[in-house]
Amino acid sequence: MINIQHIYKRYRSVHALEDFSLEIPLGAIFGLIGPNGAGKTTLLRILGALIPPTSGQVWFGDEEVTQSPTMIQRKVGYMPDFFGVYSDLTSEEYLEFYAGIHGISRRKSTKVVSDLLELVDLTAKRNALVETLSRGMQQRLCLARALIHDPDVLLLDEPASGLDPRARVEFRELLLTLQSMGKTIVISSHILLELAEMCSDIAIIRAGQLVMAGNVEQVTHSLGGGNQIEIRVLERATDAKQLLKEMPEIRNILDDNDVSELIQAEFNGDNQALHRILAELIAHDIPVISFAPRRAVERLEEVYMNITEGASVL
């Protein structure tokens, strides 16, 4: 468990983090979401023992970050938002260099580098100069670099920014593989859907303060963003609304007074519940044109936009 307790970080007059407390469970893919300037990078740099907090404590199990920064840095693999590559080195040389400065022997590093290149699917590019790799490949190479010393915790700052959809999917698959290997992964992003797709838990940060943290579904529900359903009918919208109100799966009808053919409702339950709702409508001869459930995860973006409205400093 990574335990962040009441940390403050000030850069002269700027308060980057204020009384920030959070628990990150081991083995999770934990997303830090917030607009630009919310304090995500500062938090990751504190977690990586790269900068000390102004006050407060961060515990990795029994070890406090400021007391044993070197020990923490060995447990942590950090990937900054900027790739930070040496363009005149080949992929293999790049990883060998980082293996060397992490104290991995030359003989061992050859195997480690080969394994990591295979893991990130860059074996074919081992002798290619880093500058010739695509952005997605460079991103994967940086991830391999962060893994070079086999850290328990990975801190990834905006890892998927600028990646095309395919590269993003590949990157997500890679993170899931790493999670299955027992790594704890902390990812920051200001693109919420990017995180919602891959994270088991999230924390929303706004202006250096924690707004909400927990399981993705829990957070969405807590912030008023439960599962929704959009039903469009050809006619008899009022009958349809009445019918829906009587169903136990339906929590609330949004804009109940609206007489249009588009009905929006909040619902509880899984796909079985959705099936029952649809079957009930059809059984009562309601002419349904479209039936579109929107899961909480898909609505997260909407909730997030409401919370962080006007909070971006960049």
Partner 1 sequence: MTFTALLTKELRLRLRRERFVWLIIIYLLVMGLLGFGFLQRANVFSGGYQGYLLSQIGAQLYALLSFIQLFLIVFITPAFTATAINGEKERQTFDLLLCSKLSAFSLLAGKLIAGLVNVLLLIAAAIPLFSLVFFFGGVSPFQVLNTLVIFIITAIVIGTFGLFCSTLIHRPTASTAVAYTFCAFWLFAYPVISILTLGGSIPANSRWYIWIQWLNAWNPISALNSVVSSVQSGASNFYLFRVHLAPWIAFTLVSLMVAIILFLLSIVFVKPDPVGRFLPWFRDLGKKSEQS
Let me know: does 57 contact 7? Beta carbons within 8 Å. yes
Binding test (CB under 8 A) with partner 1, winner from 50, 212, 247, 274: 50
Q: Is 10 in the site for partner 1 (CB under 8 A)?
A: no
Least Å from the CB of residue 155 to partner 1: 9
- Considering only residues 127 to 146 of the shown chain, the ones binding partner 1 according to CB under 8 A are 145
Binding test (CB under 8 A) with partner 1, winner from 3, 18, 51, 71: 51
Which lies closer to partner 1 via its Cβ, residue 158 or residue 266? 158
Let me know: does 312 contact 35? Beta carbons within 8 Å. yes
Which lies closer to partner 1 via its Cβ, residue 100 or residue 248? 100
Q: What sign for the dihedral angle of Cα 39, 185, 170, 217?
A: negative
Least Å from the CB of residue 164 to partner 1: 22
Least Å from the CB of residue 158 to partner 1: 12
Least Å from the CB of residue 7 to partner 1: 16
- For residue 219, which of 242, 239, 200, 243 has the smallest C-alpha distance? 200
- Considering only residues 13 to 32 of the shown chain, the ones binding partner 1 according to CB under 8 A are none
- For residue 175, which of 197, 208, 206 has the smallest C-alpha distance? 197
Which pair of structure tokens corresponds to residue 163?
A: 């990646």
Q: Is 52 in the site for partner 1 (CB under 8 A)?
A: yes
Q: Is 53 in the site for partner 1 (CB under 8 A)?
A: no
Least Å from the CB of residue 74 to partner 1: 8
Binding test (CB under 8 A) with partner 1, winner from 21, 55, 86, 173: 86
- Considering only residues 176 to 205 of the shown chain, the ones binding partner 1 according to CB under 8 A are none
Question: For the chain, percent helix, then strand, then coil, each to nearest 5?
Answer: 40, 30, 35
Tell me the C-alpha distance between 194 and 31, whole Å: 10
Let me know: does 143 contact 159? Beta carbons within 8 Å. yes
Tell me the C-alpha distance between 69 and 71, whole Å: 5
- For residue 144, which of 186, 98, 107 has the smallest C-alpha distance? 98
Q: Is 78 in the site for partner 1 (CB under 8 A)?
A: yes
Which lies closer to partner 1 via its Cβ, residue 283 or residue 314? 314
Which lies closer to partner 1 via its Cβ, residue 101 or residue 292? 101
Let me know: does 9 contact 53? Beta carbons within 8 Å. yes
By CB under 8 A, name the binding residues for partner 1.
Answer: 45, 48, 50-52, 73-74, 76-78, 80, 82-86, 88-89, 93, 96-103, 105-106, 145, 149
